[in-house]
Structure 1
Amino acid sequence: MLGELGITRCTWRSKHQRDESTPVIPFAKANEKWVLYPHNDALVVTILVINLTTRRILIDNGSSADILLWEVFTRMGIDAAQLHSAPMSLKGFSGSMVHPLGTITLTVLTSSTPCTTSIIVNFLVVRTLSSYNSIIGRPTLNSLQAVMSTYQLKMKFLTPHGVVEIRGEQVLARECYVQELKQKDGRVTPDGTSRKE
Structure 2
Amino acid sequence: MSVSRYPIEESSSMSKRVKMGIPLVLGFSNEDKLGTIQPHDDALVVTLVMIDQGSGAKIMYPNLYKGLNLKPENLTAYGSHLVSFEGKMVIPKGQIRLPVQTGSDVVEVDFIVVDIFSPYTTIMGRPWLHTLEAVSSTLHQKVKYPSGGQVLEILGSQSTAMQFLVVAIQHRPGAEILAIAENGL
Give TM-score, length-normalised by structure 1: 0.74
Matches within 5 A, 1:150-161: 150-161=138-149
Bigger CA radius of gyration: 2
- Percent of aligned pairs with the same residue? 33
Question: 1:3 corresponds to which residue?
Answer: none
1:137 maps to which of 121, 125, 149:
125
User: What displacement does 1:100 show?
Assistant: 0.7
Aligned in 2, Cα 1:95/1:187: closer, same or farther, shift over 3 Å? closer
Contact 1:42 1:150 in 2 (8 A): yes
State the distance in 2 between where 1:43 and 1:144 align. Answer: 17
Q: 5 Å matches for 1:1-197? A: 19-20=21-22, 23-46=24-47, 56-111=48-103, 116-187=104-175
Cα distance per residue 1:96-122 (max 9 Å; x no partner): 2111101111111112xxxx1111111
Question: What letter is aligned with 2:28?
Answer: F
Q: Secondary structure at the match of 1:132?
A: coil
Q: Deviations over 1:31-73 (max 9, x none)?
A: 2222111211100002xxxxxxxxx211001112000012320
Gaps of 5+ in 1: 1-12, 47-55, 189-196
Residue 93 of structure 1 and its aligned partner are, at CA, apart by 4.3
Counterpart of 2:112 in 1: which secondary structure?
strand
Q: Which amino acid aligns with 1:65?
A: A
Partners of 2:32 and 2:9 in 1: CA distance: 20
Letter in structure 1 aligned against 2:56: S
Which residue pairs with 2:3 in the alignment? none
Q: Deviations over 1:128-164 (max 9, x none)?
A: 1222221001121121221111111011111233112
**Relative contact order, higher structure (CA 8 A, sep 6+):** 1
Runs of 4+ in 1 over 4 A off after TM superposition: none
Q: Secondary structure at the match of 2:55?
A: coil
How many residues align structurally? 162
Are the equivalent residues in 2 in contact too, given 1:71–1:127 (CA < 8 A)?
A: no
Specify the SS of the correspondent of 2:50. strand
Quick one: structure 1 residues 136 and 168, their matched pair in 2 at CA, closer, same or farther if it must change by over 3 Å? same
Q: Point out where structure 2 has 5 or more consecutive residues left out of the alignment.
A: 1-7, 11-18, 177-184
